[in-house]
């Protein structure tokens, strides 16, 4: 059964109606940052467990946010400030009368404070993965930045830096500086410094002091030892996204002060729009108005909450629906896997089952060893009930009752709710769920699960998963594997290296390799699952050729699972497994491999998967993202494959790319992206991502990606150069990756509505081009971009439409009426290919610009945009707008004028020659006639 097209919104409306009736405190639980009456509530700052306790860290965070609140209030013209902030203290710090955590967790934080493997320093940064005007993932600070007061000389005060990063995170604006292109040539052929606004002043400085520009810049490049140093005292008030450290800077660049020519990310990503233009169109500005009067807002209030004991309750459906498609067996297998391999030590675990009523099957037990794990597994439900009715609320209430026995409250606990029941009364316990302080992760089993089940996850900040009714699907295993404690301590978490399943014919094998790299290897376990009564024949070889077979595995015949733990640290390299189906008919065989970090000072490679939006309406696509990194360093050149499983039909696989085109906003930031639009049916879809990487050089990027606050090397004060301490580099030198690695990560589930039942016409346009660049060479313009596809980023477009204008506003607002460039000789390439096109806009350009020094020169700003069209005339959105300037020296006439002068000269010369020839001819005739007359006269005289 598939979901109806309008069932979801009706159910959601009930939830929204109930939310309105709730108190504001409950409304903010699990809801993230909210804007109410000009103030932000619910901002969560989390400190990583690896950060050492320091008595100055929390006061400095409070001071930073307080200063940022007033600075933000003035910068937004009395609109916005920070009201309520929560700081999440890790359990590794001493207890200090902190409040108990409710639904807050490290993975939900808007701001994280962390260091990786002993590095210090580092720019404050924000991870942005979506694009202009879109929210980012999180802000990142190091403890060193928050504790070392000497760094404020280079960054400015911490409050100002926070506002810089907040603009990245909340409003999707980008940096207005460019360390890779600190200078550029403007439209008047002048060398300029990349800055915004252009009114910010300074001078070029060499190793020995101030020096003229010509000594610092040769062939448009900075010479070694040269830099541009800014004056500490300025009159310019913008921009916060350039140099928040200047005391005069109190606002964002607007249309008046914005520097469109500067080669910075803001211009590239936002089509030359100013930061204030983007911010003023945000939802925050739509829902707020400037506060009247001159009174300042109140300072922020802070709540300090600390992670306590980890408590997990499995809430498992045992209604008669669970007997269908082996749902209960697959749930048992996944729950055993979670309890034996995933759940962290020292966690309290209990089990509740439910149908029309809830039942406590196991009281809370703390996991301290394998015997504790086996004891909890023994309480898993083994049979289904005869009742078809399910009451999810009854199961959850029993779960709350169970965990409240530990400390009197369910605060900070986790419920893992797995059900296939079509319960229509979930809204009856909404208030209880929200006030419990528990986080609920939901797993929908099969297509019959309640349509509004995911609302429980959404409102409490939990994950949502879907497992289709397919014997060879590992979705439910992947779901349990992705549920961690949420503390942010990657060294204590199990990492999934392999997850696969196939329907294998009799006497055929499921054979593959799994790469174990040197960053993992501790507590490595291989899990084999089969479908029939007996285990397959298992053969496993480690990288050195040591052989393990079925006898080495621990067999659980009732659950049809076999598990092998590798003692010590698993050897890095390729492990090869083969499962031989000895049964007389086809059966599903599945393999899952997990491991833990091998070294406490070397973070393992991780994969985080997420989608933009969890519900799509056909034909709008879903955008899939996978962040692949080691610590905070992105891993490049990986093979990243997404597998999407619908409720019915075959799974779809497609590669994700980190190429800065299509759905991928920024190239080489470790975030691999792709559009997904191959919707087969309505309903839920399960998502997981598989990452493979072969041994190579330069696996890791040389720097941490994201939008960074700029560190200023020095200032000029009263004519004197005052240099700041050199910035500590966070970059990495190239390193050799000796070992291949493999990772699996679930991306949860999403829903699609409105998919037509039968064949439908082409409704998918090409994707928007987001990386258009324009470079002028003499009197020609060369464009470059990445080719989109016939359907978003797949296939090949039919044609391109390129238009140019001398007015940014015209090409932004009226692209169809801008001047069309002839592209008849431009042949589109396959999606992902780099396209180039050169044209001459000279026929479009006319007129001269007056120069202040009295000289004249041709200087023309040209705005260029492009749009792709497929064979069915579906058009992409207009690309980012590129700017270029054509410059013709003042001692050289324009091309058209020169041609006219030459033509005029030629015609004049030809005219003069004609006249001379005519005169010669006339003269010749006259002389001839006179000569004949003279001869006649002489003859008469002789007679």
Q: What are phi and psi of 29, to 5 degrees?
A: -65, 125
CB burial of 154-172 (b: ≥16 within 10 Å; e: otherwise) equals bbbbbbbbbbbbbbbbbbb
Q: What are phi and psi of 921, to 5 degrees?
A: -65, -45
Contact 160, 71 (CB under 8 A): yes
Tally Cβ neighbours within 10 Å of residue 717: 11
Nearest partner of 395 among 406, 409, 381, 382, judged by Cα: 381
CA distance 849 to 864: 20
Q: Which of 67, 104, 165, 645 is catalytic?
A: 165
* Residue 475: C-alpha distances to residues 99, 574, 750 (Å): 36, 24, 13
**Which ranges of 338-391 does DSSP label H, i.e. alpha helix?**
370-377
Q: List, as one string, the DSSP characters of 542-601.
A: -TT--EEEGGGSEEETTTTEEEEEEEEEPPSEEEEEEEE--SSS-EEEEEEEEEEES-TT
* Residue 640: C-alpha distances to residues 17, 236, 358, 742, 745 (Å): 41, 46, 42, 10, 11
Nearest partner of 644 among 654, 658, 634, judged by Cα: 654
Exposure on the CB side of residue 568, measured as CA atoms within 13 A:
4
Q: Pairing mode, if any, of strands 221-222 and 227-231?
A: unpaired
Nearest partner of 99 among 341, 307, 257, judged by Cα: 307
Contact 675, 767 (CB under 8 A): yes
* 855 Cα distance to chain centroid: 49
* Residue 206: C-alpha distances to residues 104, 209, 222 (Å): 51, 5, 10
The residues, any chain, with a CB within 8 Å of residue 877's CB and separated by 6 or more, are 768, 867
Nearest partner of 162 among 149, 145, 178, 179, judged by Cα: 145
CA distance 341 to 494: 8
Contact 17, 455 (CB under 8 A): no
* 826 Cα distance to chain centroid: 32
* Catalytic site includes residue 309: no
* Residue 22: C-alpha distances to residues 13, 15, 428, 445 (Å): 15, 11, 13, 30
CA distance 513 to 741: 11
Q: What are phi and psi of 407, to 5 degrees?
A: -130, 10
How many helices (H) and strands (E) the chain has is answered by: 19, 52
Active-site residues: which are they? 165
């Amino acid at each position: 059964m598939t979901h109806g097209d309008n069932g979801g919104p009706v159910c959601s409306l009930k939830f929204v109606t109930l939310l309105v009736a709730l108190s504001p405190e409950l409304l903010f639980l699990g809801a993230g940052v909210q804007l109410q009456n000009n103030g932000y509530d619910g901002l969560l700052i989390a400190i990583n467990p690896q950060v050492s306790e320091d008595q100055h860290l929390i006061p400095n965070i409070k001071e930073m946010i307080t200063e940022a609140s007033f600075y933000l209030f003035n910068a937004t013209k009395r609109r916005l400030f920070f009201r309520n902030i929560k700081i999440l203290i890790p359990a590794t710090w001493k207890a200090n009368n902190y409040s108990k955590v409710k639904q807050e967790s490290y993975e939900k934080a808007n701001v994280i404070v962390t260091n990786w493997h002993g590095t210090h320093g580092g720019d404050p940064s924000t991870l942005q993965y979506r694009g202009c005007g879109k929210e980012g993932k999180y802000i990142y600070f190091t403890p060193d930045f928050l504790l070392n007061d000497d760094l404020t000389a280079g960054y400015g005060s911490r409050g100002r830096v926070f506002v810089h990063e907040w603009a990245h995170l909340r409003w999707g604006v980008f940096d207005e500086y460019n360390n890779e292109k600190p200078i550029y040539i403007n439209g008047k052929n002048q060398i300029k410094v990349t800055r915004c606004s252009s009114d910010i002043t300074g001078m070029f400085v060499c190793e020995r002091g101030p020096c003229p520009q010509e000594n610092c810049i040769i062939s448009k490049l900075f010479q070694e030892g040269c830099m541009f140093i800014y004056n500490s005292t300025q009159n310019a008030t913008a921009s916060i996204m350039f140099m928040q450290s200047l005391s005069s800077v109190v606002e964002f660049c607007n249309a008046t002060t914005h520097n469109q020519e500067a080669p910075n990310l803001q211009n590239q990503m936002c089509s030359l729009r100013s930061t204030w233009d983007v911010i003023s169109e945000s939802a925050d500005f739509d829902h707020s108005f400037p506060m009247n009067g001159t009174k300042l807002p109140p300072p922020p209030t802070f709540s300090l909450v600390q992670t306590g004991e980890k408590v997990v309750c499995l809430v498992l459906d045992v209604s008669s629906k669970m007997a269908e498609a082996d749902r209960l067996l697959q749930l048992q297998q996944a729950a055993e896997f979670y309890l034996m391999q995933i759940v962290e030590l020292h966690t309290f675990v209990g089990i509740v089952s439910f149908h029309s009523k809830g039942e406590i099957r196991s009281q809370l037990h703390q996991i301290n060893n394998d015997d504790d794990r086996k004891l909890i597994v023994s309480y898993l439900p083994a049979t289904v009930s005869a009742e078809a009715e399910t009451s999810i609320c009854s199961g959850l209430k029993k779960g709350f009752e169970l965990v409240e026995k530990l400390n009197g409250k369910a605060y900070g606990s986790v419920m893992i709710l797995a059900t296939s029941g079509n319960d229509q009364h979930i809204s009856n316990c909404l208030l209880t769920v929200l006030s419990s302080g528990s986080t609920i992760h939901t797993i929908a089993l099969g297509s019959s699960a309640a349509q509004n089940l995911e609302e429980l996850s959404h409102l409490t900040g939990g994950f949502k998963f879907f497992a289709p009714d397919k014997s060879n699907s590992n979705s439910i295993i992947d779901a349990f594997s992705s549920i961690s404690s949420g503390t942010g301590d990657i060294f204590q978490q199990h990492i999934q290296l392999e997850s696969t399943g196939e329907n294998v014919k009799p006497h055929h094998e499921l054979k593959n390799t799994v790469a174990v790299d040197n960053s993992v290897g501790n507590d490595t376990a291989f899990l084999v699952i089969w479908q029939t009564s007996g285990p397959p024949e298992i053969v496993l070889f480690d990288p050195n050729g040591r052989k393990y077979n079925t006898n080495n595995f621990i067999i659980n015949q009732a659950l049809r699972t076999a598990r092998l733990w590798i003692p010590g640290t698993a050897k890095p390299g390729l492990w090869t497994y083969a499962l031989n189906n000895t049964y007389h008919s086809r059966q599903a065989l599945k393999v899952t491999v997990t491991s833990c970090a091998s070294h406490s000072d070397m973070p393992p490679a991780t994969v985080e998967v997420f989608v933009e939006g969890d519900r799509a309406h056909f034909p709008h696509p879903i955008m899939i993202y996978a962040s692949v990194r080691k610590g905070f360093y992105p891993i490049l050149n990986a093979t990243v494959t997404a597998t999407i499983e619908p409720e019915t039909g075959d799974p779809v696989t497609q590669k994700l790319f980190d190429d800065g085109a299509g759905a991928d906003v920024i190239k080489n930031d470790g975030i691999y992206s792709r559009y997904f639009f191959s919707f087969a049916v309505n309903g839920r879809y399960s998502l997981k991502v598989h990452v493979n990487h072969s041994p190579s050089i330069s696996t890791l990027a040389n720097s941490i990606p994201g939008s960074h606050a700029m560190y200023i090397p020095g200032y000029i004060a009263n004519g004197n150069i005052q240099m700041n301490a050199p910035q500590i580099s966070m970059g990495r030198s190239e390193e050799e990756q000796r070992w291949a690695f493999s990772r699996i990560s679930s991306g949860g589930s999403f829903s699609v509505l409105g998919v037509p039942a039968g064949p439908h016409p082409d409704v998918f346009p090409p994707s928007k081009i987001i990386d258009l660049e324009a470079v002028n060479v003499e009197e020609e313009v060369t464009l470059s971009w990445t080719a989109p596809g016939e359907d978003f980023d797949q296939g090949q477009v039919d044609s391109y439409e390129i238009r140019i204008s001398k007015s940014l506003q015209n090409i932004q607002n009226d692209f169809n009426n801008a001047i069309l460039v002839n592209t008849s000789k431009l042949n589109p390439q396959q999606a992902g290919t780099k396209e180039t096109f050169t044209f001459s806009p000279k026929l479009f350009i006319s007129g001269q610009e007056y120069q202040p020094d009295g000289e004249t020169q041709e200087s023309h700003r040209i705005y260029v945009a492009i749009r792709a069209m497929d064979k069915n005339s579906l058009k992409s959105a207009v690309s980012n707008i590129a700017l270029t300037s054509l410059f013709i020296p003042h001692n050289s006439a324009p091309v058209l004028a020169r041609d006219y002068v030459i033509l005029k000269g030629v015609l004049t010369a030809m005219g003069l020659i004609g006249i001379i020839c005519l005169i010669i001819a006339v003269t010749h005739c006259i002389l001839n006639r006179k000569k004949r007359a003279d001869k006649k006269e002489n003859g008469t005289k002789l007679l």
